[in-house]
Structure 1
């Protein structure tokens, strides 16, 4: 039994890394939105679904390759997010409404959007065209890896590097950090906060959309409510990693993905979702601020 587990472990770790990469990518956008804009935008899960459907119809109806459909879906979803933010959240920001107001507004919008999506597309699972990506597999050291898995890992790595470079090495990244720290002070320092908000909405939605495309590619199963379950994973990831912490979101996403795959492979697929939430409970018990979060400073 032990020998069989050890033999399967490298393959399961790779599968977990692939799944965790999509979780991390999704959580990065969620973390960015929460950390900079200070709102829990529940429409974020719908951006995940939107990206998957845009890629699906881009490949089916327009005959696009996945190399064009993926960035195209990300850009279109980002533009949709800017419109949603302007319609739903900008009026609340201007009136300095409490955080609960944005939560309730986006909750209502999410219910409406999912209802419209279901009415338009139904609840049947849709699949990407077989020729959208090669199903050839490569065996490296006894581990089987497919082209779609390579695409998922490479895409995640490139996006993480680009995002960190943007945040830490550009003037726009400095403006984002200033807005996250104190919006009013950033505005007094000459930061165009409206422009930063629009760009953060665009980038966050593009990340969520990309995660949706990659999940659809990995499991070849796309349906309107796929973003709903992903939002639960997103909440778990950002709480375990630490609210608003990008490094924490990345690490927690990978850990949950690997933990779920190992649980499904060696225990039972029926309890794989519970594994991540047990980790969430343990984190809240022993480190409520998350793995990389910092406790708020109390002033006398």
Structure 2
């Protein structure tokens, strides 16, 4: 029984990571119905931005392991991720807003590869900086270097706790932002009918930029959480994570923020349990990605609206 709960907690922390990325996916899709396959690279850039902030703080003579580095790293990662996402929207997606859906989809794949190679080449040319071609150790913050926390007799890694807490905080903030602010209500209006929203005086372009910025900020938090959970980052980390986040968004119900959280947590638990309890030729940790996408196929076949239900209007 202890093994079961240990794997359950591990799955929930992994699912919380997927959910953080998936919520950002969902915010953008809910507004412009764009499957932004480059969102995984925004997650990766957020992690590298946080690490770069830590390196700069070290150059300035700060305490490398002090706990106050973490909020500064989060801010640094968010700034870099949001700036990248806003530039992406302005110069890559906005000119294609009225184009056939295949055009922005192909563009997103191209941007994904472009950002991967940009990070690899950029960090590879900085003297004294870790080579981005291989996994780079993520900064060790004082709180996260301690012993695992005992929760009901189970030892839980502090990085896992941070992921779950980050998801809860971001989920609560996003609920408040979407439902209790003027910009949030404008986002809901644009997601339903952008043309009528424009006639009502809403700056649709500005709202879309806000959606990309919010999604990027959440992805940056996920990037930092991933670094703390696994202890390293690399320039390829966003590709598979982005696919898993898309799977989580579809699993919960595309365009539904609550569905993205439910889908992410479900996906993480399924991966953890499948890796632990399915053994033999078709089991083990190496098969966890297989079972994740098998789950996606089953959902698309038997419940295409997702576990919670889609909440977007088809404007095709």
Q: Please report the TM-score for the alignment, with normalisation by the length of structure 1.
A: 0.91
Deviation at 1:131, TM superposition (A): 4.1
Matches of 2:272 and 2:160 in 1, distance apart?
14
> Which is helix-richer, 1 or 2?
1
After alignment, is 218-227 or 142-151 more displaced?
A: 142-151
2:83 corresponds in structure 1 to: 79
**What's 2:114 paired with?**
112
Moved more, 158-167 or 255-264: 255-264
Equivalent in the alignment of 1:161: 172
SS at match of 1:139: strand
Further displaced range: 233-242 or 111-120: 111-120
- 1:135 Cα deviation after fit: 2.8
Give the TM-score taking structure 2 as reference length: 0.87
Maintained 8 Å contact 2:255/2:312: no
1:128 aligns with 2:154: no
- 5+ long unaligned stretches in structure 2: 59-63, 125-131, 279-283
Does structure 1 retain, via aligned residues, the 8 Å contact 2:70–2:141?
no
- How do 1:135-146 residues align onto structure 2 when only pairs under 5 Å count? 135-146=146-157
Aligned partners of 1:190, 1:78: CA distance in 2, in Å?
Answer: 25
Partner of 1:3: none
Of the structure 1 ranges 136-145 and 185-194, higher mean CA displacement relative to structure 2 is found in 136-145
User: After superposition, where does 1:87-98 map in structure 2 within 5 Å?
Assistant: 87-93=91-97, 96-98=98-100
Does 141-150 or 165-174 show the bigger shift? Answer: 141-150
Aligned to 1:293: 309
- For 2:255 and 2:105, the matched residues in 1 are separated by 17
Give the secondary structure class of the aligned counterpart of 1:61: helix
Q: Give 1:167 shift.
A: 0.8
Q: Does 1:27 align with 2:31?
A: no
SS of match in other structure, 1:66:
helix
Contact 1:59 1:128 in 2 (8 A): no
Give me the CA root mean square deviation: 1.9
Q: Report the Cα offset of residue 161 of structure 1.
A: 0.4
Q: Bigger shift: 33-42 or 157-166?
A: 33-42
- SS of 1:62's equivalent in the other structure is helix
| Aligned counterpart, 2:204 | 193
Q: Does the 8 Å CA contact 1:46/1:110 hold for their aligned counterparts?
A: yes
Corresponding residue for 1:270?
A: 286
Moved more, 239-248 or 54-63: 54-63
Q: Deviations over 1:116-158 (max 9, x none)?
A: 2223334200012334533322212211123322221111101
Q: Structure 1 residue 21: deviation in Å?
A: 0.5
Report the counterpart of residue 281 of structure 2 in structure 1.
none
Cα distance, 1:272 vs. partner? Answer: 1.3
Cα distance per residue 1:180-222 (max 9 Å; x no partner): 0111110001111121111111001111121111111101120
Distance 2:159 2:86 in 1: 30
**Among 44, 49, 56, which residue is 1:49 paired with?**
44
How many residues are treated as equivalent by the alignment?
291
